[in-house]
A and B are shown apart, each in its own frame.
Chain A
Amino acid sequence: MEETDQSSSAAPPPFEPMVEDAYSIETVVHITQTPRHQIAVYCRHGLIAPVTAPEREGWWFDQEAIRELRRIESLRHHYGMNLAALRVCVELYREVERLREEVRALRHS
């Protein structure tokens, strides 16, 4: 049953892409307890983004999107924020993250 590929010895090793877990919208609903339509609303307003184009490949999310979703839900529950306020908050969080990255990079240079 053993098969040997004669060409493989000379061929370069196959490229290994970066891989992360992906979660279907059903799984995201389950683990964040956020209703499906609410997730769709957040996507429509650009607060979170699916991994791929939903109309072609369905709704898939990565861990970053789940983190973001938890943060948004927390802001909404604790502070009663509407979508406009959430958007401002999310943009500020992203800006803070970007600046932190920049500071880290400058410190290491």
Chain B
Amino acid sequence: MPVEFKDYYATLGVTRDASDDDIKKAFRKLARQYHPDVARDKKTAEERFKEINEANEVLSDPVKRRKYDELGAHWQEDGRTPSPPGSEGRRPQAPNDWQAREFHFTGTGFSDFFEQFFGGGRGFGFEPDGPDSAAESHAAGRPGADIEGEILVTLDEVMHGTTRAISLRNLNPRTGQAETHSFQVRIPAGAIEGRRIRVPGKGEPGGGGARAGDLYLRVRYAAHPDFRVRGADLYHDVDLAPWEAVLGTTVVAPSFEGAIKVHLPPATQPGAQLRVRGHGLPKGRGGERGDLYVVANIQVPPRLTAKERALWEELSRTSQFNPREPL
């Protein structure tokens, strides 16, 4: 089934030689506008955000970006869809059989293009007993193979849980007809990244009346413009002027309970992590929550006015502070 090429550079509005920092900045800017957790018009924003997240997923990862750049150079050479980069020799079946065993998801948050080239085999049927058994499974009364895919969830969905409509389209090997199965999948609150959600009986159909396989959806968090996630803890970077770090200041930080006013103490060090208890993601069903860490990111002014320079020079003459004190 042909897939449409995605120009991830155009999606983020960056050039092909953009640095990692440019990509990060472009993603954060667009995500602030379109992330479903922060956008005003969630419906319109959702589709756009999926594209932005997908582009960031590929371009912010050096390995995926390299594969993508190679792929872009050879896209549909000779009119054929290329194999996913790095997958050469992984699929021993004949092309027709490969086609017959192909699955396409919609509603997971990833495009067919991403699933095929960066999904690492996700979205395709898994052979229960190795590749040779695939051809037999439909005829010999054997249970259907399990299917595994990824499902993109926002942190807001992780906070509160959600139900998602998933469509699974595959080619029936007996009839050769495309079939679409739609169903609802419940994502529980506190679903940690990497968790597999099992949807019984939604895998490949069994042969000879045997039971169908199961569908496994692996949870992937959508990148958030304000938070990084580690386990159930959230990390929010806050930029500080040097004098704010030295004298202490008050900042407004986002949280899922609404904005919070955080008092940073004097002498806040670069990279200092200040813990706000219980403002992270849920930890399973017990009602316990992870923590939110406000991370101090001290910024040095890139330009100075004459007056500012004079003040810094005066400070340098007056201050007793020596960051390179002899050991």
How many whole Å from A29's CB to the nearest CB in chain B? 15
**Is the beta-carbon distance between B293 and A14 smaller than 8 angstroms?**
yes
Bound-complex Cα distance A27 to B273 (A): 29
Q: Taking the complex as formed, is B265 at the interface, i.e. its CB lies under 8 A from any CB of chain A?
A: yes
Does B260 belong to the interface (CB within 8 Å)? yes
B192: A residues at CB distance < 8 A = 1
Report the Cα distance A76→B194, complex, angstroms.
57
Kindly identify, within residues 45 to 97 of chain A, every residue whose CB is under 8 Å from any CB belonging to chain B.
51-52, 57-58, 60, 62
A interface secondary structure, majority: loop
Q: How many angstroms from the CA of A19 to the CA of B294 in the assembled complex?
A: 11
Does the CB pair B261–A14 fall under 8 Å?
no
Contact in complex: B252, A17 (CB < 8 Å):
no
Assuming A14-B293, A60-B259, A60-B261, is B272 touching A22 (CB within 8 A)?
Answer: no
A residues 15-53 near B (Cβ < 8 Å) are 15-24, 27, 51-52
19 A-B pairs whose Cβ atoms sit less than 8 Å apart in the complex:
A1-B193, A3-B230, A3-B231, A13-B275, A14-B293, A16-B274, A16-B275, A17-B265, A19-B262, A19-B276, A20-B260, A20-B261, A21-B257, A21-B261, A27-B258, A57-B251, A57-B252, A60-B261, A62-B261
A23 to B277, CA, bound (A): 20
Q: Which residues of B contact A23 (CB under 8 A)?
A: 258-259
Residue of B at shortest CB range from A1? B194
Q: Which residues of B contact A (CB under 8 A)?
A: 192-195, 230-231, 250-252, 257-265, 272-277, 293-294
> Taking the nearest CB of chain B, how far is it from the CB of A26, in angstroms?
11
Closest A residue by C-beta to B258: A21
A-B complex: 4 closest residue pairs judged by Cβ atoms: A22-B259, A14-B275, A22-B261, A18-B263
A27: chain B residues within 8 A (beta carbon): 258
- A-B interface contact total, Cβ < 8 Å: 62
Whether A51 touches B261, Cβ cut-off 8 Å, given contacts A1-B192, A14-B293, is yes
* B231 and A52 contacting across the interface, CB-CB below 8 Å: no
Cα A60 to Cα B253 in complex, Å, equals 11
Q: How far is the CA of A24 from the CA of B40 in the complex (A)?
A: 15
Pairwise interchain contact A17-B262, C-beta atoms closer than 8 A: yes
A84, chain B: closest CB distance, angstroms: 29
Contacting pair B261 A15 (CB below 8 A) = no
The minimal Cβ–Cβ distance linking A48 to chain B, given in whole angstroms, is 15
Contact of B252 among A3, A13, A14, A51 (CB under 8 A): A51
* Contact indicator A60/B252 (Cβ below 8 Å): yes
Q: A21-B259, A22-B259 are in contact. Are A15 and B252 (CB under 8 A)?
A: no
Tell me the nearest residue of chain A to B230, going by C-beta. A3
Chain A residues with CB below 8 A from B195, complex form: 1
How far apart sit A19 and B254, CA to CA, in the bound complex (Å)? 12
- Residues on B with C-beta less than 8 A from A21 are 257-261
A24–B276 touching, CB < 8 Å: no
Residues in A neighbouring B194, C-beta threshold 8 A: 1
Residues of B within 8 A of A15 (CB): 265, 272, 274-275
Query: A23 to B254, alpha carbons, bound, how many Å?
Result: 11
Beyond the given A15-B272, A17-B265, please list 18 additional residue pairs across the A-B interface where CB-CB is below 8 A.
Answer: A1-B192, A1-B193, A1-B194, A13-B275, A14-B273, A14-B275, A15-B265, A15-B275, A17-B264, A17-B276, A17-B294, A18-B263, A22-B252, A22-B258, A22-B260, A27-B258, A57-B251, A60-B261
